[in-house]
Amino acid sequence: MMISTVLVATVTNHYCSNHVSGVMISDELSFQFSGFGGGFLMYDFSGRHDIVSFIKEVHAQGLYACLRIGPFIQSECGLPFWLHDIPGIVFRSDNEPFKVYMQNFTAKIVSMMKSENLYASQGGPIILSQIENEYGTVQKAYGQEGLAYVQWAAHMAEGLQTGVPWVMCKQNNAPDRMINSCNGKKCGQTFVGPNSPDKPAIWTENWTTRYRVYGEDAPVRSAEDIAFHVTLFIAAKKGSFVNYYMTMIFLLRPDFALQYHGGTNFGRTASAFVTTSYYDQAPLDEYGLIRQPKWGHLKELHAALKLCSTPLLSGVKVNLYLGPQQQAYIFNAVSGECAAFLINNDTINAASVPFRNASYDLPPMSISILPDCKNVSTQYTTRTMGRGEVLDAADMWQEFTEAIPNFDSTSTKSETLMEQMNTTKDSSDYLWYTSRFQLESSDTQAILEVSSLGHALHAFVNGQTVGSAHGSRKNPRFKFERRVSLSKGINYVSILSVMVGMPFLRPVSQFCLIRAFLERRAAGLRTVKIRDKQDNYDLTNYSWGYQIGLQGETLHIYTELGSSQVQWKTFSNAGNPLTWYKVDAPPGDAPVALNLASMGKGEAWVNGQSIGRYWPSYRSLNGSAQTWYNVPRSFLKPTGNLLVLLEENGGNPLQISLDTASISQVCGHVTASHMAPVSSWIEHHHRAKNPSKVSGRRPKVLLACPSKSKISRISFASYGTPLGNCTSSLALGTCHSQNSRTVVEEACLGKMKCSIAVSDRRFGGDPCPTEPKSLMVVAECQ
């Protein structure tokens, strides 16, 4: 079971009292086990897996839940490997063995929820459930058995009688009573719509970014792009539910949800080549810190949409074309209220369009929400990692180096190369392949050739390091070739094959249907050959010995108890591969990030709990995919914290630091032509014909530091024509009010949050009457 959600904030509906509104928490659940044997399955619902306590807390906070049972999940560890060993099983098909285990799991979760009265039909918070996950992207690979499976899954789920609707995402042929939904970035354009008129249009995963992959640059999606497609989905598709991947807030109806929070793939839960940090570019990052401008921009969007809730919920929709790439969606309520969405689909050019006796300027690729929403002010935050304690004293560290096994020391033997996952059963990322062969004379110019199905390897000949190699997310297969020195007589080859997560599932095409069948995936060594000056040796079908995992893993030396099972040595700085390092980590109470930029590849544990794999040495042109690793405060103790790292490639632990994640800087930029923050319209909404002209409501720069910190310094302030923006260097323009810094400091210093109206009067007069003006402020948080 995986809980991939975090509490965000409470949203209340001021204008639609006959419709429920609030925050929705979305849980994705997959198979998880604590043991499997003798035909019995044991589930683990302890600790962070305690889904019942989590849903109860959701209820206690007055929130709602969407329970996405799956049980298959795309990128988060998939299905447990023990299912692979069930005789005759075919995953996610009309296959009796798979259906038995899937039904047992689903029924188990539903039973747990029912027994605690957690469904909305019982007075609980769960108002939606989901079965399966994006099956429509692979269904064609299964033919008629895929269609039968979809029908069976729907019938099975409905038969559990939860009393709330069920969802199937990316399943356009979802059976009756199953709501088909969209996943993606542009569901306002790509969603075909509900497959029945009595089903709502819902967007179960709006990808605010994408998961990051080792060796690739970070995917970036702007706040403006997200807001555009959310608004388009609501206006064009009559959308009622949008889930920002990964925590939901619904605004207009019980089934309108939005998702916000990044996460962390602790332990070995990340799929192949996916970083430990997961969706860190979400409006709330993996540390729970606000990421601007996404947070603020979307908050304004949601407030604007809520002002339109009555015509959206009960109005009649009309589509009007305003130009070749411009159109309007208008919702007219019986009460006379109207909401209009003016859309410019031109990605390059702005457009001026007539609408109801007025002209509106539409920026490229934009949607203007009328009557009140025209533009949104901008705020940026800068997350920094405050340099904490640097663990640079050699006497702080101890090390333990793994022994390199050879053929004679292994207990498992085979006459061929064994597939890795079938051998390890996903109990470890590591599998040793060892063999031996005899030469009549020494050779210092021999070549070792290895072909691997993935994901990485470290090679040793006669106990000496030869080299390493790895594949990539797009192509996990790779070849390794190194010059080696061989001795006369018996030579030993030891190769450590490494997986970096279980295989993920890609959408299938007519040319590659096989990728749908996860139970057929393979990893590990495929061929091993030696070329020397006299002959070629194909070791592929020689006798091979195997060792699953590393000695340190077997002994759990990353725990207090297991640590005493081996003889640790003082730090040597030798940089040997396959070395464990341990140190006592310092205490603290801020979000902690372990800076592993100096390390190569491996895994880290804090007080026996894995904080995930690390791989800073695998770089793209713009650097490492991840260097800071989240250490939840719940993992730490007041004193005596044990930090253990398994380093595969060498690395330098003396440059590791325990840093603190914080928002150190906030920046706001608002022009005089911006509208006031949408939240300020609420009090005037019902008593003003044109809320944008209500006295006292002006555009404002809004600055906010995180909790427990205050604005300590104003590093830049200019009312006039400042140059630059919040993401680049700033400078004073030709027009600048000399009162800028004084006004801003009086309003903001020593406060957690502040607002400054953008007006000539606020700054003691107009510094340049003929120029359009704006206010730019950069503040430091401490």
* pLDDT one-digit tens code per residue, 78-130: 688 888 899 999 999 999 999 999 999 999 999 999 999 999 999 999 999 99
Map out the domains of the chain with their CATH numbers.
22-306 (3.20.20.80), 308-370 (no CATH), 385-401+553-661 (2.60.120.260), 407-549 (2.60.120.260), 698-781 (2.60.120.740)
Interior CA angle at 319 toward 317 and 321, to 5°?
165
Q: Is the pLDDT of residue 689 over 70?
A: no
Report the b/e string of 34-52 with b at 16+ CB within 10 A.
Answer: eeeeeeebebeeeeebebe
Nearest of 145, 101, 183 to residue 513 by alpha carbon? 145
pLDDT confidence tier of residue 171, bands split at 50, 70 and 90: very high
- Is 76 or 636 the better-scoring residue by pLDDT? 636
Using the 8-state DSSP alphabet, how is residue 142 labeled?
A: G
pLDDT at 258 over 50: no
Higher pLDDT, 522 or 390: 522
Confidence of residue 301 (pLDDT cuts 50, 70, 90): confident
Range 737-760 average pLDDT: 95
Whether residue 697 has pLDDT greater than 90: no
Residue 520's CB is within 10 A of a number of other CB atoms, namely: 12
pLDDT tens digits, residue range 17-63?
222 334 566 666 655 433 333 334 678 888 888 999 999 998 998 98
Check whether 528 has a pLDDT greater than 80: yes
Angstrom distance (rounded) from CA 254 to CA 64 = 8
Which residues have a catalytic role annotated? 134, 205
Q: What is the pLDDT of residue 284?
A: 82
- The pLDDT assigned to 38 comes to 33
Instruction: Give CA–CA dist 469/415, Å, rounded.
Output: 25
pLDDT of residue 249: 35
Please compute the mean of the pLDDT values over residues 451-480 and round it to a whole number: 96
**Cα(411)–Cα(309) distance, rounded to whole angstroms?**
68
Banded model confidence at residue 695, pLDDT cuts 50, 70, 90? very low
**What is d(CA 245, CA 75) in angstroms, rounded to the nearest whole number?**
13
Least reliable range by pLDDT among 5-14, 59-68, 181-190, 393-402: 5-14
406, 463 Cβ separation under 8 angstroms: yes
Which range, of 295-299, 624-628, 636-640, 696-700, averages the lowest pLDDT? 696-700
State yes or no: pLDDT of 162 exceeds 70: yes
The pLDDT of residue 76 is: 60
- The string of pLDDT tens digits covering residues 646-671 is 999 989 999 999 888 878 889 988 87
What share of the chain has pLDDT > 90, as a percent?
Answer: 56
The pair phi, psi for residue 315, each rounded to 5°, is -85, 170
Name the pLDDT band for 278 (thresholds 50, 70, 90): confident
Place of tokens 């009067």: 761
Beta bridge partners of 502: 271
* Alpha carbons 292 and 753: distance in angstroms, whole number: 15
pLDDT at residue 321, rounded to an integer: 94
Cα→Cα distances 377→223, 227, 294, 341, 742, Å = 12, 13, 12, 19, 22
| pLDDT at 80 (0 to 100) | 83
pLDDT reading at 253 higher than 70: no
SS3 at position 231 = helix
Quote the tokens at residue 255.
């089934």
- Which of the pair, 386 or 707, is modelled with greater confidence? 707
State the burial class of residue 314 (Cβ atoms within 10 Å of its Cβ: 0-12, 13-18, 19+).
Answer: middle
Is the pLDDT at 693 greater than 50, yes or no? no
pLDDT at 65: 86
Residue 676: pLDDT band (50, 70, 90) is: low
pLDDT for 1 beyond 70: no
Beta bridge partners of 457: 469, 497
Alpha helices in 160-222 (DSSP H): 187-190
Indicate whether 477 pLDDT > 90. yes
Res. 8 pLDDT band, cuts 50 70 90: very low
Predicted local distance difference test score (pLDDT) of residue 31: 53
Is residue 687 scored above 60 in pLDDT?
no
What is the chain's mean pLDDT, rounded?
85
Arithmetic mean of pLDDT, 378-391: 67
Confidence (pTM)? 0.84
Among 107-116, 387-396, 424-433, the range scoring the smallest mean pLDDT is 387-396
Q: How confident is the model at residue 589 (pLDDT cuts 50, 70, 90)?
A: low
